[in-house]
Each structure stands twice: as structure tokens, then as C-alpha cells.
Amino acid sequence: MTKSGIVGLTPDELRLAIEAHGFKGELAKEICIWIYRRAAKSFLEMDNIPMGLREFLLRNYSLQWPQYRSFQTSADGSKKYLFETSDGNPYEAVFMPGPKRNTLCISTQSGCRMGCVFCHTGAMGFRENLSVLHIVGQLLSIPESMSINRIVVMGMGEPMDNPEPVFRALEIFRAPWGMAFGATNITLSTIGILQGLERLIHARCCNIAISLHSPFHHQRSRLIPAGALHSPDDIVSFFMVSPVRKPLRLSFEYVVIPNVNDSDEHAAQTAKLIKPLNCHVNVIPLNTPKGNENYRQCARLFRDKLDAHGQPATLRASRGVDIDAACGMMAGKGK
């Protein structure tokens, strides 16, 4: 008999299933806590659930987390985990420890179809959308899972190109019967697909980071081919009408490509574009496998240009460059 996957179910969905077989529905919430917060490896270890119900779950449901195929450790302490789907398609998660924040960067797709010219994930093409099991499993199947207090949905793939599993995973991350993360401790990065942004604003489930990379629509469309669908002006206009309400935050991300998008004109227009939104810009150096201090210096100078135009900006630290784990470098490669 083929078993159904239990990861991804909510207490309401599980309640209907167990009540239909004569078990008490209020036990569904406790089962979900075992699955999502305690990362149970077997139904039999759920010792506060009646044995009859545990045996029913064992007969009818599968509880098996993804296993990482390999991992690499960076000189800065970051760790990149390589996973594979059942079809053999790779995806990665990166653990970044810190004094107060232990962050996990998770993927939502194997590959990506957005085609960003500076991104190694885009260069590998689109392989597969990740399921709820694949997305949630990145957190619950690594050794550091219990120490993680920040989640960034910024790994491989465009989250709003795989919306249903992503929104279900965000629900599990936040729910009291799930992993109980605060929405302010989760940040999702997107190129700004308006239909997805509408759902994010309504759900109030995470901070939002918009991949900008140029304030000029014609140039941004070359850097992000899929970004041609919505211009920077369209995105800003959307947030003017549907703002991100506090305590959640809106920010913009800007990968600096020397002599392409780092002029004073770019800085001035970026500051002018997003000034009405009163938000922050994260400036990101162009990351390459060998590293390049010139790229970081160019990013630092662009950050200073934004500051000079009155736009608050931060130079983001590139974690895990030596293991291809930094922004734009994840491409499903092992050692």
C-alpha cells in the first residue's frame, strides 16, 4: 500500500483524517508539534499519543525527512548542505552562525527560471519545484536545526514561482503547532511578481526583500529577464498602495556589477525611486568563486553614493564565498 506523506498537513487536515477512523481530533495538534517542532523520525516515538493512533499513522503515512547528500564548511563558519529530490535534482541550504542570529538560507526550487545574468542558480536552468517536504525539511534535517532563529528564503529559485508549497511552508514555520517562528524573523526575497506580493501582504507572514539591481526598467529587464513583467515603478507603486505594515519590513537588494549598474546616476535614481517607501537597501558585492576585493570595493563605493543621496544602505557581508554559498552562487554543486 502506498503511504501518504504527512509533512505539509495542518492540524485541521490531520484532524479530519484521524476522526474519520474513530480517533480524537484534538490529538492532531500534538501530532503536528511532534512533526514540525520536534522533528520526529518515527510515529512510535510520539509517547503522548495513544498507541492505536500511532500504529494507524505508521500504516497509512510516511514520516521521512530529506537527507543531505553532503556538506561543506566555509572558513567563516557557514555550512552549505546539498540535497537531492527523488528525481535527482539538487538544491541547497546554507547555515550561517552568528553571535545572536543563527540564520538558515533555504531554497524553494532546484534551479530557477528567472534568468538573472549574475546568478549561478539561473545559469543551471530550472529543474524542479520543491515540495513542502523539501522546503521545511531543509530546516529540520540538519544538525543545527534547533539553534536556528532566523530564516531567509533567499536560496535557489524564485519563491513566488512556486507559491503553493512556499505559502504552506511559511504557515508551518510560523504556526504555534509548527515551528513557532515570529514573522519578523523570516525574510523572503523575490524579484517582485505582483500576484505573489499581494498574497504576501495579505498573509503578513514575513519580511519582504525585493531584488532591484537597477532602477531603470530597460536595464533591469536585461539583468533579470523575468523582471520585464513588472517595472521598478510598478513595484514601488504597488507598495505605495499596499504597504508592508510594521513590525514587518520591506527592503531592496542591489547586486553591484562594476561599470554596469554602479554609477552616480544609478544611485541617484534608486534613491529617488524608493524614497516614498522609506525603506533600506542591502548592497551586495558581485560574488565569484575566487572572490574579488575589487567587487567588494565597488559595492562599498555604491553604498556610499546611496548614502550621499539620502538613501539608507548597508553593505551585506558575503558569507560562504569559498564554498559557493554566497548570494548568487548556489548551483547545486558538491565538493
Catalytic residues: 92, 327
Which grid coordinates belong to 1?
Answer: 500500500
Each as own residue / partner, the long-range contacts of residues 141-146 (CB below 8 Å, 24 or more positions apart, any chain) are 141/39, 141/65, 141/66, 141/67, 141/68, 142/68, 142/79, 142/81, 142/93, 142/95, 142/104, 144/79, 144/95, 144/97, 144/102, 144/104, 145/39
Cis peptide before 276 (omega within 30 of 0): no
Nearest to 253 by CA among 316, 296, 295, 179: 316
Report the alpha-carbon distance of residue 152 to residue 102 in Å, rounded: 11
Show the beta-strand stretches assigned E in 219-326: 250-256, 280-285, 313-315
- The SS3 of residue 15 is helix
